[in-house]
Structure formats: C-alpha cells, structure tokens
Amino acid sequence: MFVHNTLEVPELEAITTAVGRVYKTPDGAFPSITTVLGRLSRDGIAAWRKRVGNEEANRVSRVSSNRGTRIHKLCEDYINNKELDIRTPLDNEMFKSMQGVMDGFVGEVYGQELPLYSKHLGIAGRVDLVCEWNDKLAIVDFKTSAKLKERRWVDSYYMQATAYCVMLEEMTGIPVDRFVILIGVDQEPPQTFYGKRDDNIAGLIDAIKGYYDENNLIHPNTTLFN
C-alpha cells in the first residue's frame, strides 16, 4: 500500500483554443506544457504521416493514444491503491513490468494529476506523480512506447518534467530538482530515464519562447527571455 500525503493546490480549468490547450489560472491563461512542446515534434510527425499515409498514421496514433491512456490509468490507480481494470494481455504485460519498478522505488506519494502552473515560465499542466523516489523527492512522468527509446529522442520528456519541477516549487515553495521518466515498452523491459531540473531549464525556456513567438503571444514575464 502506498502512503499518501497529498499537496493542496487549486484546481485549474483547461480549455481548447486555436493555439492548443490553455489553463485558466489566477494569474492569467497559460498554455499547457504539452502544447508548448508539441511544436518541437511537428515536422517529424508531418514527415512520418507523409511516408505512411494519413489512414495508417491515424490508426497508429489512435492505438498508441488509447494504449497510453489505459496504462497511465493503471499506474495511477495502482499508486492510489485501487482495484485494477486490465483490459488486454499486452496491457497486463506492460503494466506488470512498470509495477515492478514502482514497487522498488516509489515511497510516500504527494500527489497525482496535480494541476500546476508557473507565471515565471508562462505555462501550466498536470503532473503525473510527485513522490519520494528512492527516498528523494521527484517528479515522475509515465510514458508508453512501441519500441525502446534512445536518450537523444526524449529531450521533450526532459523539458516537460523540468517544467513540472519549476511549477511545483513556484506554487508550493517545495523545491524539487530531479525527475524520473518511466516508459512502458511493448514486449520489452521498461525504461527509466533520470534527469536534473537545472540541466534542462535552458532548453525549456527556448521552447517556451518559440511557442509564444510563433503564436504572437505576449509572455507574462517580460524578463524571462532577456
């Protein structure tokens, strides 16, 4: 059983706009971090769609999205000590492999799906998990993949987790300088990537600037890009 000591943060309303998902916060409307980082993979996705065709791309995207949603829900329910609803043998295989990692490293839980935002960065989002990981406070992000990832392929994952580190500290005053990316992989052992907030902040700021510039938006922190 996992012990929970959930942090109290205000709920945020998410809306879909012409420039992607936006969260309404007490300090204004900020784009979601996944929307901000989505532009980084846009060209690669477009090239893949052209190569395989829209029908196949839609099918693969739908399967991948549904699978990711199911596995994420299983991880969330497991951490919440709930009964699990495992739908397929492949889901069972992937989740069980991730479960072994969680059992070995997750300690006290401080929140799941917490709504977070940062006026300093001008972004918002929901963090998968905040917990003691191997006895140290960390952000944990769950991912799924059809194949094993190389580190150079997951820069956006690192920036996303870095953003959650900054948002959490800004909202709660609790510093968290490390994160974990736990990836369930089809018919392979799960992958675990570790990172530090300060090693990835520069790339994150560049990505945020690119998003605001591309969409002709005024950033709430006029000193961030100076």
In a domain, 223, yes or no: no
Q: Give the CATH number, domain containing residue 186.
A: 3.90.320
In a domain, 70, yes or no: yes
In a domain, 2, yes or no: no
Give how far Cα 19 sits from Cα of 32, 44, 74, 90, 202, Å: 10, 19, 30, 35, 23
pLDDT in tens, 174-212: 999 999 999 999 999 999 999 999 999 999 999 999 999
Residue corresponding to tokens 């205000």: 10
Judge whether residue 143 has pLDDT over 80. Answer: yes
Coil, helix or strand at residue 60 = helix
Question: How much is the pTM?
Answer: 0.94
In a domain, 27, yes or no: yes
Edge-to-edge strand ranges of the sheet holding 28-31 = 13-17, 20-25, 28-31
Judge whether residue 57 has pLDDT over 80. Answer: no
In a domain, 166, yes or no: yes
In a domain, 63, yes or no: yes
Domain residues for the domain of 21 are: 13-214
- State how far the Cα of 174 lies from the Cα of 131, in Å rounded to an integer: 12
